[in-house]
Amino acid sequence: MSRGSRFRLGVATLVAVGLVACGDGDPPTRVARDAVLRAQPIFLYAPADTTRPPRAIVFFFGNDIGFWRPHRALASSLAAAQYAVAGFDMRPLLRALPEHGATRDSAFVATIDPLIARVRHELGGDSVPLVLAGHSLGAEVAIWTAANVCPKGTVAVLALSPGSRSHLRVSMSDIMNTSEPTGAESFSVASEIAAAPPRERVAIVRGTRDQYARVDSALLAAGGQRIARFTVPFAGHSLKRIATASYETRRALDWLLADVASVRR
């Protein structure tokens, strides 16, 4: 078999595995009342006690293969801890954006800001704090969103396995996890952390075997006193070890929200 054939077979297998992973796992627990949200690839998880407000609304950007099975298991775990979670498969949105530069950025802002506002209204309203979250590419997009979109009610960013550079697109190098983008339309994750509103804390959740752990010194330096790292023992970039990953993620959320009683903007 040629190298090209092996590569195509590898990509096909990866895509198939991704589709299976996205189809399994803990199903959403709430159907949106908002028809616009029902038409979007958004997966809603209500907090365990629906008689009380959620501790926060977590808007979670999935990675380059979507809001997959480990994300759904994590969302279910967070819902059990009284968080409301909206998992977002951002791939259709990124594919629909204009190709280049500022036009692409502006189109993303114009789409994601009202979408997050609808989710916030659906899951808790103006009195519930909003945490932007994501995994891998989704973590990087969450950080960019905090710095450039500034959705109303945002108090923190939860970043699982971010890298050092990213972009508002899904490339083959993202899917194959081979390299980070370096083109003119890419951005420095550390620079976006530094540009995020100073009142917003940032938490990094990182597996000890994640190859991108090497970038954390730069990310932590960019965040100063408002950033912290939470490590998941023996876990890699995918954070598939849900028992420990979800525990550290809940610890990270506790830290992010420690000084947040309510949001008034």
The confidence band for 63, taking pLDDT boundaries of 50, 70 and 90, is very high
Residue of 2, 136, 140 whose CA lies nearest to 63: 136
Q: CB neighbours of 223 closer than 8 A, spacing ≥ 6?
A: 193, 194, 202
pLDDT > 80? residue 21: no
pLDDT > 60? residue 18: no
Please check whether residue 73 is in contact with residue 246, taking contact to mean a CB–CB distance below 8 angstroms: yes
The confidence band for 261, taking pLDDT boundaries of 50, 70 and 90, is low
- Residue 249: predicted pLDDT: 97
In the numeric block, the tokens 């190298």 are attached to 3
Tell the CATH topology of 3-256: Rossmann fold (3.40.50)
- Residue 78: predicted pLDDT: 97
- Residue 240: predicted pLDDT: 84
pLDDT > 50? residue 12: no
The confidence band for 125, taking pLDDT boundaries of 50, 70 and 90, is confident
Adjacency order of strands within the sheet including 130-135: 42-45, 84-88, 57-61, 130-135, 154-160, 201-207, 227-232
- Residue 214: predicted pLDDT: 96
User: What are the tens digits of pLDDT across the range 186-229?
Assistant: 999 999 999 999 999 999 999 999 999 999 999 999 999 999 99
